[in-house]
Amino acid sequence: MSEVLLQCRELTRRFAGLLAVDRVSLEVQRGTVHAVIGTNGAGKSTLINLLAGEIAPSAGSVALLGHDVTRWAQPRRARAGLGRSYQRTTIFPSFTVLENCRLAAQARFQHPWRWWQDAARCPASLGAAREAAARAGLAEHLERPAGLLSHGGKRQLEIAMCLATAPQVLLLDEPLAGMGAEETERMLALLAGLKEGHAILLVEHDMDAVFRVADRITVMVNGAVLASGTPEAVRANAEVQAAYLGGH
């Protein structure tokens, strides 16, 4: 069994009496894609926010690469190797594609005290940026203002910015959102290529895509885990069929 890179135990989050995430435990191993599915309001977004460190848990723990990161804020987790893409495109629309990636990459080479140096010439961040952009399929669009990209292009940029920080664990929040058939194919190919060396946690609504690319699936309902296992096991699970897959 390969290395567990990301793990959470009994992760819980309450919002003024509402139990948004209810004792969720899961793990993601290197070289695998672990998909989290569930209906709207099932707690998937809150779960990702908890794993990323954007909000603090009410109870439970999160471990990244063997370290307990439950008390760590998001930037610290990111520097430790946790990357995240957002469901709502979170890019810098007024900057070029290259600058978007370069700025993200700069997080690893911050050197804020070198005030006389031109950041745009920083070889380390530029190199990482070009590589990430190429991996995400944006090598031809480096000089375009990011706001002018197509929707699919922007989603690719989301991934590129995530990759620019050279993470070992990726949290991808609905990367396929709003994509057409061709763009979806490209993104799935990209994800398949990313598997090697990374541990990927994927939140998605597109069931076909999920069953194609995931090695493990966790189904959430009302903040708690309903079922978790291989795609075949989940598909065959009677409760899951009733609650979620039945009407699809």
CB closer to another protein out of 147 and 193 = 147
Residues 23/12, Cβ–Cβ less than 8 Å: yes
Among residues 10, 56, 67, 109, which is the contact residue for another protein, using CB under 8 A?
109
DSSP 8-class letter at 145:
B
CB closer to another protein out of 117 and 230 = 117
Q: How far apart are CA 203 and CA 181, in angstroms?
A: 18
Residues 51/44, Cβ–Cβ less than 8 Å: no
Question: At which residue do the structure tokens 């603090």 appear?
Answer: 56
Among residues 9, 79, 186, 235, which is the contact residue for another protein, using CB under 8 A?
79
Contact between 44 and another protein by CB under 8 A: the answer reads no
Q: Is 165 exposed, middle or buried (0-12, 13-18, 19+ CB in 10 A)?
A: buried
Contact between 112 and another protein by CB under 8 A: the answer reads yes
Q: Which stretch binds another protein (CB under 8 A): 1-9, 14-22, 104-112, 232-240?
A: 104-112
Within 113-132, which residues bind another protein (CB under 8 A)? Answer: 113-120, 122
CA 34 to chain CA mean position, Å: 11
Q: In what order do the strands lie in the sheet with 199-203?
A: 82-85, 169-173, 199-203, 32-38, 216-221, 224-229
Site string for another protein, 145-174 (x = CB under 8 A): x--x------------x--xx---------
CB of 162 to another protein, least distance (A): 8
Residues that bind another protein (CB under 8 A): 52, 54, 73-76, 78-79, 83-84, 86, 90-96, 99, 103-120, 122, 145, 148, 161, 164-165
